[in-house]
Amino acid sequence: MQKYNGKSVFGGIAIGKTLIFRKNENQVRRKHITNTEAEILRVDEAREKAKEELQELYEKAVIEVGEQNAMIFEVHQMMLDDQDYVDSVIHMIKTEEINAEFAVASAGDNFAEMFASMDDEYMKERAADVKDISNRLIKILQGNSDSGIQSEVPYILVADDLAPSETLQLDKSKVLAFVTRKGSTNSHTAILARMMNIPALIGVNYDESCDGKDAIVDGYEGALVIEPTIEILDSMKEKQQEDHYKKKLQLELKGKDNVTLDGKRIDIYANIGSVSDVAAVLQNDAGGIGLFRSEFLYLEKHTFPTEEEQFQTYKAVLENMAGKKVIIRTLDIGADKQVDYFGLEKEENPAMGYRAIRICLNQPDIFRTQLRAIYRASVYGTVAIMYPMIISVDEVKQIKEIVQSIKDELTSQGIPFHDVEQGVMIETPAAVMISDLLAEEVDFFSIGTNDLTQYTLAIDRQNPKLDPIYNAHHPAVLRMIRMVVENGHKGGCWVGICGELGADTTLIEEFINMGLDEVSVSPNLVLSVRDKVRNTNLSDPTFHSKKSREVY
């Protein structure tokens, strides 16, 4: 048995035989030519043919993975017209009197190396795109065609790397999973793989001898196991059966509305911490992202993330969500989430200390950088912003002034942006008690039940000694939620819950009865909450209205 570790792009279990995909490297030899104009004409014709092929791939991708994720093939078409790239090819043909194939290969290598050497992760990933379009041109110039992978039986695809076009052309009915040595979790190939629901690993330094052998891909643990033992195989089969059950539930509930038997509706969104989590959001058919914990961008770095880094992250999430709402919570550092480079002083009670919006308003440069990134990304989807740890109307008014100055700044710089819904998190008893006033200032409320319960009950939720008396169902907490819903609706706000209580299926009936508009839960809980909603009937006389009256 051999085990190779990598990084998971998409979860799941696959069991089958491996098939190593070895690319046609389009061996190119340098040749001296005398008619340079004829070679340039060959390049122009190959570019037109390549754009036709990419248009066909785009149309196929729109059907299979949606318009936003198919855009890579439009980008590749535009790259074929990039003047710097084209000029480089033509210049080499004219000055060195070399054949078109060799000029394209050389230009492709040069531009790919240039992109790969950049500090920006997004630009580094463009190196693979340049190689992809160059290989396509060379293939056309040599008169070769896409052969794809031919196999009569399902297989685990193992490759050094996969270009987006190669990924899309796979026969999905035959591919059990894919494993690559190269690639990144934010690459176009990774995005397509998630959309195709194929378990996938990257960064796996496999041995070529694994070709054709029995194997397991564990997309949860990020492992490729070659020739597994009987015990491991049996264990993985059990895990796979659990997956099959979940997928069956998905097939039954995907695309279904979140409506009770008596016609009441509630939106079910998902909580995420990074771009890679979007795969689970889409797989579980969430209506949107109700909480994007943006602080993970800061927690994963050793210095403040730049505006461009944040912009690329938000843009990637919005593009993947293809128009579904994404609610980004602004920086919520402090309390149990400490970052060394912020230089925060040690506090006796950090949960009630210098954290979240307090940091943002006290250090506006950090806040403005994040807001600019969000507004710049807003043109790529539907985004909303919510601000954590609000305790006063004055805080909201300060935020609105900063937001307006950001919008004025972007307008003066000619940078496009869309209108963005503004919301606040209701996490403190203070915010609950002034929720009628806050509703006049914002578009929505999102109730953070974890902190709200902690502050309401005066119980540190990080203290295990207090677990026996930590009660998220406490009447005080439930009354506060009802108050927020009522005040929000009176003021024209929609109201959701993004804390753990939103996934408590024993309270779904209560929340719907309160008039709650949305719950946002872990992606893997979306369908179980949907199942509970669809089997709820508030008009049923057995509904526990007596309990509701007692609590409220």
Q: Are residues 76 and 198 in the same domain?
A: no
pLDDT at 147 > cutoff 70 = no
What's the average model confidence in pLDDT over 168-180?
79
Active site residue 360: no
Residues 467-479: tens digit of each pLDDT: 778 788 899 999 9
CB count, 10 Å around CB of 422? 17
pLDDT at 551 > cutoff 60 = no
Q: Are residues 363 and 508 in the same domain?
A: yes
Tell me whether residue 67 is in a domain: yes
CB count, 10 Å around CB of 409? 14
Side-chain half-sphere CA neighbours of 411 within 13 A: 8
- Please give the Cα distance from 109 to 138 (Å, whole number): 13
Q: How confident is the model at residue 545 (pLDDT cuts 50, 70, 90)?
A: very low
List beta partners, residue 2.
226
pLDDT at 68 > cutoff 70 = no
Q: Are residues 385 and 528 in the same domain?
A: yes
Q: How confident is the model at residue 485 (pLDDT cuts 50, 70, 90)?
A: very high
- Please give the Cα distance from 122 to 119 (Å, whole number): 9
Residues 410-424: tens digit of each pLDDT: 999 999 999 999 999
Q: How confident is the model at residue 152 (pLDDT cuts 50, 70, 90)?
A: confident
Tell me whether residue 251 is in a domain: no
What's the average model confidence in pLDDT over 3-22?
87
Q: How confident is the model at residue 70 (pLDDT cuts 50, 70, 90)?
A: confident
Which 3-state string (H, E, C) describes 237-298? Answer: HHHHHHHHHHHHHHHHHCCCCCECCCCCECEEEEEECCHHHHHHHHHCCCCCEEEEECHHHH
pLDDT at 454: 87
Q: Are residues 408 and 383 in the same domain?
A: yes
pLDDT at 159 > cutoff 90 = no
Domain final residue, candidates 107, 141, 175: 141
Q: Residue 420's closest CA among 437, 403, 396? A: 403
pLDDT at 263 > cutoff 90 = yes
Q: Please report, for the domain that includes residue 86, its CATH number.
A: 1.10.274.10
Q: Are residues 153 and 218 in the same domain?
A: yes
Q: Are residues 136 and 186 in the same domain?
A: no
Residues 6+ apart with CB under 8 A from 169: 57, 146, 148
Tell me whether residue 28 is in a domain: no
Tell me whether residue 31 is in a domain: no
Which of 241-255, 295-309, 505-519, 521-535 has the largest mean confidence? 505-519
pLDDT at 518: 97
Domain final residue, candidates 113, 141, 169: 141
Kindly provide the b/e burial profile for residues 212-221, where b requires at least 16 CB atoms within 10 angstroms of the residue's own CB.
eeebbbbbee
CA angle 518, 522, 527 (to 5 degrees): 70
- Please give the Cα distance from 453 to 207 (Å, whole number): 52
Domain hosting 154: range is 2-23+148-239
The per-residue pLDDT of the chain, averaged, comes to: 85
Tell me whether residue 432 is in a domain: yes
Residue 272, token pair as written in the block: 């995420």
pLDDT at 251: 67
Which 3 state secondary structure label does DSSP give 9? Answer: strand
pLDDT at 445 > cutoff 50 = yes
Tell me whether residue 252 is in a domain: no
Residues 268-292: tens digit of each pLDDT: 999 988 887 888 888 788 999 999 9
In angstroms and rounded to an integer, the radius of gyration of the C-alpha atoms of the chain is 27
pLDDT at 547 > cutoff 50 = no
Q: Are residues 177 and 100 in the same domain?
A: no
Domain final residue, candidates 209, 239, 269: 239
What's the average model confidence in pLDDT over 435-456?
94
Would the CA dihedral through 292, 6, 170, 120 be positive or negative? Answer: positive
Q: Are residues 134 and 207 in the same domain?
A: no
pLDDT at 184: 66
% of residues, the chain, pLDDT over 70: 84
Active site residue 493: no
CA angle 238, 239, 243 (to 5 degrees): 115
Given the residues 76, 91, 188, 473, the one annotated as active site: 188
- Please give the Cα distance from 97 to 82 (Å, whole number): 22
Residues 193-216: tens digit of each pLDDT: 665 667 888 889 999 899 889 999
Q: How confident is the model at residue 310 (pLDDT cuts 50, 70, 90)?
A: very high
pLDDT at 296: 79
- Please give the Cα distance from 243 to 459 (Å, whole number): 37
Residue 369, token pair as written in the block: 């950088």
Q: Are residues 18 and 99 in the same domain?
A: no
Q: Which helix (H) or strand (E) holds 494?
A: strand 494-497
Q: Are residues 62 and 95 in the same domain?
A: yes
Sequence letter at residue 226: I
Number of domains in the chain: 3
Q: Please report, for the domain that includes residue 194, its CATH number.
A: 3.50.30.10
Q: Please report, for the domain that includes residue 307, its CATH number.
A: 3.20.20.60
CA angle 531, 537, 540 (to 5 degrees): 150
Q: How confident is the model at residue 24 (pLDDT cuts 50, 70, 90)?
A: low
pLDDT at 187: 57
Tell me whether residue 306 is in a domain: yes
Say if CB 266 and CB 519 are below 8 A apart: yes
CB count, 10 Å around CB of 362? 10
- Please give the Cα distance from 539 to 351 (Å, whole number): 41
Tell me whether residue 297 is in a domain: yes
pLDDT at 122 > cutoff 70 = no
Residue 344, token pair as written in the block: 């925060």
* Residue 6 vs residue 196, higher pLDDT: 6
Given the residues 210, 360, 493, 498, the one annotated as active site: 498
- Please give the Cα distance from 320 to 264 (Å, whole number): 29
Residues 6+ apart with CB under 8 A from 450: 427, 461, 499, 500, 501
Q: Are residues 379 and 504 in the same domain?
A: yes
Q: Are residues 325 and 412 in the same domain?
A: yes
Residues 335-365: tens digit of each pLDDT: 555 556 565 667 666 667 667 888 889 889 9
Q: Residue 29's closest CA among 153, 141, 162? A: 141
What phi and psi values does residue 235 have, to the nearest 5 degrees? -65, -40
